[in-house]
Amino acid sequence: MDFRVVILWVLLVIAGGCAFWWITVAIRVARDLPRIPRIGQGLAFALPPGEPLVSVVIPAHNEEKHAPGCIESILRSTYTNIEVIVVLDRCTDATRANLQPIAARDARLKLIDNNFCPTDWAGKCNAGRVGAELAKGTYVLFTDADVEFSPQLIRASMGMLNERGLQLLSLMSTPRIRHWFEAVVQPVAVMELMRMFPVAQVNRAQNPRYFANGQFMLFERAAYDKLGGHAAVKDDLLEDIAFSRRVKDSGGRGGLAVADGMLMVEMYEKLSEFLQGWKRIYIEGSQRKPARLRRSGLIVGVGAALLPVGSFAALIAGAGWSGQWNGGSLEPLASAVMWTGLLGALSFLASAAWIHKLCAAPMLAAFFHPLGGFLIARCFFGAAEDLINRTPVRWGGREYILEPRKW
């Protein structure tokens, strides 16, 4: 048998699988996207009576670069009845010095030095607790120091929380694309997180799924206290997911909205930092189970990397070999491989470009989506190995050794 025949049959299967996979992805995105509200819709909703005080709590560990811009954006809010509490969590850089001039001219900003973290607490959770204990607001908003608020964001969020009767409202932030890996890899990373936590199901009335993004969590203060505050999630490295789960288990209502540029975020300067950050997210999102991490790595490796590359290979091989048999019996096979490869490649590019656009990344970066898939697959497998080997996870100025779980 001609070896090319075997190759063509393999490529035909891969290309057909790619077309099916990515058409399914596009259908799911088209189905789920309308179910996730846009935070701007909250501007049309009424505020809680009296426009109560909102306490914005920001844990900040060595955020000298991002914190000033973050704080300035919050203080420009059209919802003016706010206090901003920045917890300087074991900072060793110029974060305080850079924020001091802002605090001197706006009394709504309070800077709190925190130089201690209990050994059984995650650092960010402890800093959140410190800030919450000092907060005076009827509502408390936890956010990060590397985000930027639209002036209308708090107003819109309070309207949506009030209109929907939520105890917790969280947002899917809009990333700033500054580096190549943010354009190429981040859409794959986000897509996999959404596969693990189907966010379109968070807002449904019956049996909602739990999910929250720690970059923006707006609580009714009474609901936050009822949950036990940060003490209830003190050892979680994904305190946002843990909070969302507790809201659901307590019978409360959590909600999720898309920021649509009203909450911008800058996270990582280097690819290595980016992948380490996502390792932590995936480890906690997989409940510290190596088998689940490996399964996710296999899924993203096949779907985002192998199938698209195989489709392009099918297109090239089918086109190149179809004329070599000069109308012989094998030419229909080569032609089928070529057209199936074209279908797979176009399905992939169209769907991936749409996903990149939704993630605020350039649509042309979809051509490099398989590279992102390969890197995120490695991230999943590396996370599984780190768990098994008890490799410390560094986050927020501390190292944590996480115990793997089987079940």
Cα 334 to Cα 4, 60, 208, 219, distances in angstroms: 9, 59, 48, 59
Q: Which amino acid is at 175?
A: P
Q: At 188, list the tokens.
A: 């794959």
Q: What radius of gyration do the chain's Cα atoms show? A: 24
Identify the residue whose tokens are 């001091």: 100
Cα 6 to Cα 9, 15, 17, 345, distances in angstroms: 5, 14, 17, 21
CA–CA distance, 307 with 300 (Å, rounded to integer): 10
CA–CA distance, 354 with 272 (Å, rounded to integer): 26
Q: What are phi and psi of 45, to 5 degrees?
A: -95, 155
pTM of the entire structure? Answer: 0.89
pLDDT per position as a tens digit, 23-73: 999 999 999 888 889 999 999 999 999 999 999 999 999 999 999 999 999
Q: Which amino acid is at 273?
A: E
Nearest Cα to 37, choosing from 140, 176, 157, 193?
157
Nearest Cα to 243, choosing from 215, 206, 277?
215
CB 136 within 8 A of CB 221: no
With b for 16 or more beta-carbon neighbours within 10 A and e for fewer, the 20-36 pattern comes to ebbbebbeebeeeeeeb
- Kindly compute the dihedral angle of the four CA atoms of residues 18, 173, 212, 179, in this order, to the nearest 10 degrees: 60
- Strands in 115-172 per DSSP E: 139-143, 147-149, 168-172
Local structure of residue 304 (DSSP, 8 states): I
pLDDT per position as a tens digit, 100-148: 999 999 999 999 999 988 888 888 899 999 999 999 999 999 999 999 9
CA–CA distance, 204 with 200 (Å, rounded to integer): 8
pLDDT per position as a tens digit, 262-293: 999 988 889 999 999 999 899 988 989 999 99
